[in-house]
A and B are shown apart, each in its own frame.
Chain A
Amino acid sequence: MSKLEVKYPLHTQEILNVNGNEAIAYAVKQSLVDVVSAYPITPQTIIVEKFSEFVADGLVHTEFVPVESEHSAMSACVGAAAAGARAFTATSSQGLALMVEIVYIASALRLPIVMAVANRALSAPINIHNDHSDAYLMRDAGWVQLFTENVQETYDTTIQAFRIAEDERVLLPVAVNLDGFFLSHTLENIRVLPDNAVAEFLGGYRKVAKLGVDYYEEQVPHMLNPARPLTFGSLDLYDYYFEHKVQQVEAMKNVPGVVREVNEKWFELTGRRYGDGVIDAYGVEDADIVVVAMGSGAGTVRSVVKKYRERGEKLGLVRIRMFRPFPYEEVRSLLRGVKAVAIMDKGIGPGSFGALYQDVVSSLYDLGSHPLTVDYVYGLGGRDLTPELVVKMIEQVKEDVKTGRVKEKIRYLGVRG
């Protein structure tokens, strides 16, 4: 399909000058969300603040539930989604840490909630700026985790997230990650679809999936309904807990296909797509050295990699857009034959490696010959990733390739000695 056949060509898409948070609020406004429940926390606050204005102005039908904590925010979303509603919340850092108990419950109950996470460092020391430690905190929570690189992608991904979450092959909650301040508070001109186009893309209001139980002859909607009661969240011991966990894993297997499909549908609609939806790769076909990164930092890396490639140096970038489920097979096939891989972690696991490093290296283990790998921890607590730091990293890795070995498996980019 050529770009000319895009259903909503650029000139039909309104230009908005918004930051990442406002872009998400606007996307949620267009997504026919029934319930929004949230608690303010920097740098996420603007999302629900802006959205509450839409509610006050009567621009949405949404029930807005202000709560006393993030634990309650996610609980309200669980209740709303279990009652058949399309539910949304947003949080950051400590807020996510406080709600994490219910974060696991949302995925295990298979409720397609969408949550924006404006990524921020975890305390202590207290810090409001960006890194990925909050997203790493929930990596085993059974949520789909998508990372965005710019404000436009944040808008696009939020709408896509509802469609991915509610797909009958998935039925899992989705977290849309945007880097705190770097995206949440940075103004960008973005293109938005008309309201009716978003409604059409999502198929209108949420359609609840059906399931079969022994005591109803027909399949019934997976929701709380006094006319046809179902038991949600009952005690599940050693006789069934394991089976229910395997069901979650099986649902995760369907996610990459659905994410790719939604990425393509979005392209047909808007003319925009992000790699194959799962991975946004640049220059890896012939690359000797590949950098793996997530979020806004990938943009900085791409610009540096581009300059190297213009000088004829074989460098590439793999931007992981879908961090959970982790695209093991795609990473393995992309990095086959590469000499060295620098994996950039914007989060730290004291006593271990960064989460992204662990996943990438696990993906590579089955290859016959392994590239050299280095874990580059960068940007903690919002420290800027400058192009100079990326150059420093690449020059170090080039040196590793020359000597054929990596002395330090973990290196810190931009920390004072």
Chain B
Amino acid sequence: MSSQRGWKELPLGGIAYRLSTDVKTGDWRALKPVVDHNKCTKCMLCWLFCPDMAIIWDGEKIQVNYDYCKGCGICAHECPVKAISMIPEFEEV
């Protein structure tokens, strides 16, 4: 608690005092998208559909930004050549 700010130190109206990118929402993920670059046709549908802007084009191929990918699987679902597979982050107990 002591490291958290008191009301006098917070901006008014519930404005976030830190950038939203400081919060690594990728740690919510249960399933991880993994790209098979041999199959990928670089159609960029995954980039278009990703709700978290977590698909990145690095100039040569697509990459997944795992800091913010929540593992929703939309990219894998939309991929026309099945180049993205969703792999469990944790082993089933």
Give A residues with C-beta under 8 Å from B.
Answer: 108-111, 171, 209, 211-215, 222, 230-234, 236, 239-240, 243-244, 246-247, 250-251
Contact = CB atoms under 8 A, between A and B. Distances in A.
Contacts, number: 60
A108 B15 contact: no
B12 A222 contact: yes
Contact of A247 (B4, B12, B16, B17): B12
Contacts of B13: 108-111, 171, 222, 232, 244
B7 A250 contact: yes
Contacts of A108: 13-14
Interface of B: 4-7, 10-20
B16 to A, nearest CB: 4
Contacts of A213: 11, 15-18
- Chain A contact residues: helix, strand, loop or mixed: loop
A240 B7 CA distance: 8
17 contacts: A109-B13, A109-B14, A211-B12, A213-B11, A213-B18, A215-B18, A215-B19, A231-B20, A232-B13, A232-B14, A234-B14, A234-B16, A240-B4, A240-B14, A243-B7, A247-B10, A247-B12
Contacts of A234: 14, 16, 20
A232 B10 contact: no
A222 B6 contact: no
Given A110-B12, A171-B12, A222-B12, A244 B7 contact: yes
A214 B7 contact: no
A36 B6 CA distance: 36
A244 B18 CA distance: 15
A231 B16 CA distance: 6
Contacts of A209: 12
A251 B7 CA distance: 12
Contacts of A211: 11-12, 15
